[in-house]
Amino acid sequence: MSLPPLVEPAAELTVDEIRRYSRHLIIPDVGVEGQKRLKNARVLCVGAGGLGSPALLYLAAAGVGTLGIIDFDTVDESNLQRQVIHGVSDVGRSKAESAAASIREINPLVNVEIHNTALDRDNVREIFSGYDLIVDGTDNFATRYMVNDAAVLLGKPYVWGSIYRFDGQASVFWAEHGPCYRCLYPEPPPPGMVPSCAEGGVLGVLCASIGSIQVNEAIKLLAGIGEPLVGRLMVYDALEMSYRKIKVRKDPNCVLCGENPTVTDLLEDYEDFCGAVSVEAQEAVVDATITAAELKEWQDAGKDIFLVDVREPAEYEIVRIPGSTLIPKGEIISGEALAKLPQDRQIVLHCKSGVRSAEALAALKAAGFRDAVHVQGGVLSWIKQIDPSLPAY
Ligand SMILES: [Zn+2]
């Protein structure tokens, strides 16, 4: 399926532009006409992180006339392993500002619009409506569903990508011509089931692999060339070095873009929709939550506790709370690790932030460990309250 170009061509290219974009102009499918369309295009990149970095760099170099950047975060040293639009001197600086500076260096002809704010239900429509196309580089489910819903409600196409460890996915969602993200993933995953890149890691160069697919699709849509990735999901496995395309059909029962939609406006609360923790976990933590400071008091007082770190082995390697034993959450949920747990000692669970340990606590309580507790805020709270010299990750 080919689609008409998203953008009308600009009136003309200047002499500078003809020189700069000559390698595009001599490609028959792009040509002067395609380059004029790119010049007139307005593209918004949600997030200037792992995917946003390569996407913004190549969109800028390609000559997209206006690039919007929305990001409220600041550059951290741990970003530099993959977020190549930022450099050492940008650490501590706003990501949107830092990305804008890199873009100006690559291509001063690009008009950059900075949205140094968090995308939320009150601003998403207004921000999106100023752009022809959105490139989604977000890393959390709440924002992802909000981006999708806003795009569908406004009739905008967007290029989606996601990355985790060695695996990447990309697609173009445009409800007018194909499925939306909800057709593919009607429900967010159960809380705690899908670790984020901050929890599970990501191979830096994977961002470039998926980000470049996103830019490739953006250019095709803007200029109306080739077969856009509408109704198809690209699945990339960096270890196998395989690209697979999976057909994604529009779901006639989709609550958003189906025949009888029930979601006709943005949701009140996307965090809530994606659920920070499950109902079972919410119930399990009542009267069974201690702070990092309380854990330290228990340890200092010589209380007989069995401290269980439910994170993954690599996280345990990076930083650990002294005295903890590693038993990943999956082994507790599956029941496999229950035999390793003492019946006669106070069990204390913790993870990185308190979400996974809450889920593990629910499983332990259901298995009869009624006195077990978990540490609110996990390792991150421990670092903040007890030992700031440990590496946060
Ligand atoms: Zn849909």
Local structure of 136: helix, strand or coil: strand
State percent of the chain over pLDDT 90.
80
What pairing do the DSSP bridges indicate for beta strands 42-46 and 133-136?
A: parallel
Local structure of 164: helix, strand or coil: strand
Distance 236 CA to ligand 1 centre (A): 23
CA separation, residue 280 to residues 1, 95, 122, 287, 370 (Å) = 45, 37, 31, 14, 14
pLDDT at 10 over 70: yes
Whether pTM exceeds 0.85 = no
d(CA 98, CA 53) in angstroms, rounded, equals 10
Calculate the average pLDDT of the chain: 93
Domain boundaries, the chain: 15-274, 279-386
d(CA 154, CA 257) in angstroms, rounded, equals 12
Average pLDDT over residues 219-227: 98
Residues tagged active-site: 197, 351
pLDDT at 276 over 70: no
pLDDT at 279 over 90: no
Local structure of 37: helix, strand or coil: helix
Same fold for the pair 15-274 and 279-386: no
Distance 43 CA to ligand 1 centre (A): 22
Distance 258 CA to ligand 1 centre (A): 6
CB 328 within 8 A of CB 340: no
How sure is the predictor about 314, in pLDDT bands with cuts at 50, 70 and 90?
Answer: confident
pLDDT at 393 over 80: no
Instruction: Choose among 199, 212, 240, 189: nearest CA to 357.
Output: 199
What CATH class does 279-386 carry? Answer: alpha beta
Distance 350 CA to ligand 1 centre (A): 37
Distance 186 CA to ligand 1 centre (A): 8
Residues contacting 345, CB < 8 A, separation 6+: 304, 305, 306
CA separation, residue 139 to residues 38, 50, 222, 256 (Å) = 27, 9, 25, 22
CATH fourth-level superfamily of 15-274: NAD(P)-binding Rossmann-like Domain (3.40.50.720)
pLDDT at 185: 87
Q: The tokens of 248 are what?
A: 């994604």
pLDDT at 275: 65
pLDDT at 197 over 80: no
